[in-house]
Amino acid sequence: MDTTTTTEPAKRARNSSVILTDRMCEKRVTKRVKIYDRKCPGLHVSITTAGVATFSVKFTDPKTGKQRTGWLGVYNPETFAVEDARSKVYALRGTGAVALAETFRDRKVQQAKRGKTVDAIIEERIEWMKTPVKKPDGEMRPRIESWENVASHLWRFLSPSLGKKIASEVTKHDIATLSNDIVAGRFGGKASVSNARHMRRAASGLFNWAAEAGRDYVSASPCVNLPPLDEEHPRTRVLSEHEIRTLWHGLDRDELRWDRKTRLALKFALVTMLRSGEMLPIRRDELNAGNGTVDIPARRVKRRRTIAQPLSDLAVEIINEAMGNYEFAFTGRYGDAPLSRSAMHNALRGNKKTKGICELLGLAPFTPHDLRRTAATMCGELGLPESGIALCLDHQANQDENGKPLPAITNRVYNLATRVRVEKKRKVLDAWAIELRRIIRKSAETGLRLAA
* Domain assignment of residue 224, yes or no: no
Is 293 in the same domain as 157? no
Has residue 197 got a pLDDT over 90?
A: yes
CA distance 25 to 81: 9
pLDDT band, very low/low/confident/very high, at 135 (cuts 50, 70, 90): confident
* Domain assignment of residue 425, yes or no: yes
User: How many C-alpha atoms does 193 have within 13 Å on its Cβ side?
Assistant: 8
Letter for the amino acid at 26? E
Crossing angle (nearest 10°) for helices 419-441 and 368-381: 90
pLDDT at position 109 is 54
Is 253 in the same domain as 188? no
CA distance 181 to 173: 12
Has residue 167 got a pLDDT over 90?
A: no
pLDDT at position 240 is 95
Has residue 392 got a pLDDT over 70?
A: yes
Percent of the chain at pLDDT > 70 equals: 85
pLDDT at position 444 is 46
More confident residue, 400 or 302: 302
pLDDT at position 267 is 96
Has residue 338 got a pLDDT over 50?
A: yes
Is 409 in the same domain as 307? yes
* Domain assignment of residue 452, yes or no: no
Specify the CATH number for the domain of residue 51: 3.30.160.390
CA distance 178 to 166: 16
Is 275 in the same domain as 316? yes
Final residue belonging to a domain, choices 49, 84, 111: 111
Q: What is the pLDDT of residues 236-274, one digit of tens each?
A: 899 999 999 999 999 998 888 888 999 999 999 999 999
* Domain assignment of residue 228, yes or no: no
Has residue 1 got a pLDDT over 60?
A: no
pLDDT at position 395 is 84
For the ranges 183-187, 194-198, 371-375, the lowest mean pLDDT is seen at 183-187
For the ranges 12-26, 51-65, 267-281, 346-360, the lowest mean pLDDT is seen at 12-26
Letter for the amino acid at 391? L
* Domain assignment of residue 225, yes or no: no
Is 95 in the same domain as 134? no
Domain that holds residue 81: 9-111
CA distance 362 to 358: 6
Has residue 438 got a pLDDT over 70?
A: yes
CA distance 176 to 227: 7
pLDDT band, very low/low/confident/very high, at 318 (cuts 50, 70, 90): very high
Is 292 in the same domain as 177? no
CA distance 116 to 113: 6
Is 282 in the same domain as 425? yes
Average pLDDT taken over every residue of the chain = 84
Has residue 415 got a pLDDT over 50?
A: no
Task: Report which listed range, 40-49, 331-340, 361-370, is most confident.
Answer: 361-370
Is 152 in the same domain as 258? no
Specify the CATH number for the domain of residue 356: 1.10.443.10
- Average pLDDT of the residues in 134-142: 85
pLDDT band, very low/low/confident/very high, at 446 (cuts 50, 70, 90): very low
CA distance 303 to 28: 66
* Domain assignment of residue 107, yes or no: yes
Is 300 in the same domain as 378? yes
pLDDT at position 12 is 43
DSSP bridge pairs for 34:
46
pLDDT at position 332 is 82
DSSP bridge pairs for 134:
140
CA distance 102 to 115: 20
Has residue 227 got a pLDDT over 60?
A: yes
Has residue 442 got a pLDDT over 70?
A: no
- Average pLDDT of the residues in 228-243: 89
Has residue 365 got a pLDDT over 90?
A: yes
pLDDT at position 117 is 86
Q: What is the pLDDT of residues 63-93, one digit of tens each?
A: 777 887 877 888 888 888 999 999 988 888 8
C-alpha dist (Å) from residue 29 to 40, 208, 239:
23, 44, 79
Is 319 in the same domain as 200? no
pLDDT band, very low/low/confident/very high, at 397 (cuts 50, 70, 90): low
More confident residue, 218 or 10: 218
Is 79 in the same domain as 174? no
- 3-state SS, one letter per residue, for the chain: CCCCCCCCHHHCCCCCCECCCHHHHHCCCCCCEEEEECCCCCEEEEECCCCCEEEEEEEECCCCCCEEEEEEEECECCCECHHHHHHHHHHHHHCCHHHHHHHHHHHHHHHHHHCCEHHHHHHHHHHHHCCEEECCCCCEEECCCCHHHHHHHHHHHHHHHHCCCEHHHCCHHHHHHHHHHHHHCCCCCCCCHHHHHHHHHHHHHHHHHHCCCCCCCCCCCCCCCCCCCCCCCCCCCCCCHHHHHHHHHHCCCCCCCCCHHHHHHHHHHHHHCCCHHHHCCCEHHHEECCCCEEEECHHHCCCCCCEEEECCHHHHHHHHHHHCCCCECCECCCCCCECCCCHHHHHHHECCCCECHHHHCCCCCCCHHHHHHHHHHHHHHCCCCHHHHHHHCCCCCCECCCCCECCHHHHHHHCCCCHHHHHHHHHHHHHHHHHHHHHHHCCCCCCCCCCC
* Domain assignment of residue 137, yes or no: yes
Phi and psi at 319, nearest 5°, equal -70, -30
Would you say how long the chain is, in residues?
452
* Domain assignment of residue 230, yes or no: no
Q: What is the pLDDT of residues 373-390, one digit of tens each?
A: 999 999 999 999 998 999
Final residue belonging to a domain, choices 82, 111, 140: 111
Are the CB atoms for 44 and 57 separated by under 8 Å?
yes
Give the count of domains, the chain. 3
Final residue belonging to a domain, choices 111, 135, 160: 111
Is 32 in the same domain as 152? no
Gyration radius of the chain over CA positions: 34
Letter for the amino acid at 61? D
pLDDT at position 290 is 78
For the ranges 43-57, 280-294, 413-427, the lowest mean pLDDT is seen at 413-427
Q: Which bin fits 37, alpha (ψ -120 to 50), beta or left (φ > 0)?
A: beta
C-alpha dist (Å) from residue 404 to 374, 380, 391:
27, 19, 17
